[in-house]
Each structure stands twice: as structure tokens, then as C-alpha cells.
């Protein structure tokens, strides 16, 4: 049975394993030696967030109105970076990616541009967070996976504490977690609940094992139901990524008992 659905158009190998770019019709996907898609792009709409989990990753835009500085830990094919560059052109985006070959693939095969407001660093995401300025970012989005699953180092409490410190007042954080890795998922969620003082929301991705964990720097927005509903509708008109559905899912999956405060 073929591992990939489609034609392999690029293959590379580095110290962490293999990297494949696969084309299936009008969709180009990034793989790390398994059938799981790390990133995907429509050849007709290259800036659209094709994978449902990437659309959920940017749900913190509900809480941060005009991000000026964003940190992406894990670049992949650059889907989120391209989306933010298109819709928030005044925003400065910093991305840190462990694997140089992944950055090369994103530029060559996934149309990742090189504008002055996109700064890419090669290195370890945890070490980058330890050096990050306190209160330096409006958004921090962590999506760090290898062929085996979530990068375990980014789930350590001291790393998540550094991420919390690096958010400005009113900022927001999201982390792409894999619910099937029960022990690691529980560890990450417990650490986030501690460092964000229980201001942590779960956003399960429909029909996937991904759960996006969202941390908020403060409680603003958690009880402003009308304002959030209007904002989701306005953003959907501009961005077209289903934030009204994401908001409804946040309401369903986050009870008063779990996070200990009134929400939405």
C-alpha cells in the first residue's frame, strides 16, 4: 500500500529524518516520512489555510484585534505565516524552525515569500522562547511536530512559562496538541493552566485528534459574549476561515467547572 496519496515531487533527508513534498491534484502537502500531512497548500489559493487545524490555530485572533508582533514556533510549509502576511501586512512575524531543509521546502514548494516583515530563525523553539523579550508578542503560536508526534520538549513547564512571559498584556497563545498522546497532552494542559492562571481554552479540531490549547494573558473577552460574536462575524467576512464556528466550539468545550470562571 502506498504511503502517500499523490506524486512525490521532492524528497530530502536531514539528521531528524525524511521530508517529502507530495502533489495530489491541486493540493501540495508536506510530510515527515509518514502519511500525516504537516502542511498543505491549494495550488489555486496558496494563502488559504487548507487544513482545519491551521484554521483553529489562529482562533486567538478572536481575542487580539490587531497583532503587531507574532511568534511562530514551527514553520512547516509556512501556511500560517503566509495567511498572516496577507491579512495583517503591518504585522512583524518571527518564525523559528529547527530544520533548515523545512525552510527550504517552504520557500521552494509552498510559495513562502521573503518580505522584510517575516524573520525566520533556524534553531530550537524552546531555546528561542527562553531568550524572548518579556511582553514582546501579541500572539505566540506553537505547532512543533516530527514524524513521531508532538515535540516533547515544548511541553515542558519552563518552556510554557517562558511563552506566557513573552506575551504582552492582552496577548494570546495557541499550541497544537495531539489528544491521543494522553500523558503528554495532560502534562501540557496542566502546565498551561498553571502559567496562564486557568485562562486556558480547549478547541478540538472536528474529526481530528488535534486539540488547540489557547492561553489568554488576561480575562478580557471571556465574558463579552456579544462583542466576541460580532468580532467573529466581522473576521469571517474578511478572513473566511470559520471563526463563528470556532467560537461556538469554544463555548461548547469549555465549562465553568473546568476553567473556574465565567466564559463567553
Positions annotated as catalytic residues are: 143
8 Å CB contact between 36 and 3: no
8 Å CB contact between 56 and 209: no
Say if residue 4 is exposed, middle or buried (CB neighbours under 10 Å; 0-12, 13-18, 19+).
middle
CA angle (59, 263, 212) in 5-degree steps:
30
8 Å CB contact between 134 and 166: yes
Q: Which residue has the cell 521530508?
A: 19
Closest among 10, 13, 16 to 146, alpha carbons compared: 16
Amino acid at each position: 500500500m502506498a504511503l502517500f496519496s499523490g506524486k512525490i515531487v521532492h524528497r530530502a533527508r536531514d539528521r531528524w529524518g525524511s521530508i517529502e513534498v507530495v502533489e495530489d491534484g491541486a493540493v501540495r502537502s508536506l510530510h515527515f516520512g509518514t502519511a500525516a500531512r504537516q502542511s498543505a497548500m491549494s495550488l489555486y489559493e496558496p494563502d488559504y489555510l487548507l487544513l482545519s487545524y491551521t484554521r483553529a490555530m489562529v482562533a486567538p485572533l478572536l481575542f487580539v484585534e490587531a497583532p503587531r508582533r507574532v511568534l511562530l514556533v514551527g514553520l512547516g510549509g509556512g501556511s500560517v505565516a503566509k495567511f498572516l502576511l496577507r491579512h495583517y501586512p503591518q504585522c512583524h512575524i518571527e518564525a523559528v524552525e529547527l530544520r533548515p531543509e523545512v525552510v527550504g521546502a517552504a520557500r521552494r514548494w509552498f510559495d513562502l515569500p521573503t518580505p522584510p516583515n517575516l524573520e525566520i530563525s533556524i534553531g530550537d523553539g524552546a531555546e528561542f522562547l527562553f531568550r524572548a523579550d518579556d511582553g514582546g508578542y501579541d500572539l505566540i503560536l506553537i505547532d512543533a511536530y516530527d514524524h513521531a508526534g508532538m515535540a516533547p520538549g515544548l511541553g515542558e513547564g519552563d518552556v510554557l512559562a517562558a511563552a506566557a512571559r513573552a506575551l504582552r498584556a492582552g496577548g494570546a497563545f495557541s499550541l497544537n496538541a495531539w489528544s491521543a498522546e494522553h500523558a503528554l497532552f495532560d502534562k501540557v494542559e496542566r502546565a498551561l493552566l498553571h502559567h496562564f492562571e486557568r485562562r486556558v481554552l480547549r478547541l478540538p479540531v472536528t474529526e481530528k485528534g488535534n486539540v488547540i490549547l489557547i492561553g489568554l494573558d488576561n480575562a478580557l473577552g471571556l465574558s463579552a459574549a456579544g462583542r466576541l460574536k460580532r468580532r467573529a462575524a466581522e473576521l469571517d467576512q474578511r478572513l473566511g476561515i470559520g471563526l463563528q464556528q470556532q467560537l461556538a466550539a469554544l463555548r461548547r468545550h469549555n465549562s465553568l467547572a473546568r476553567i473556574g470562571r465565567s466564559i463567553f
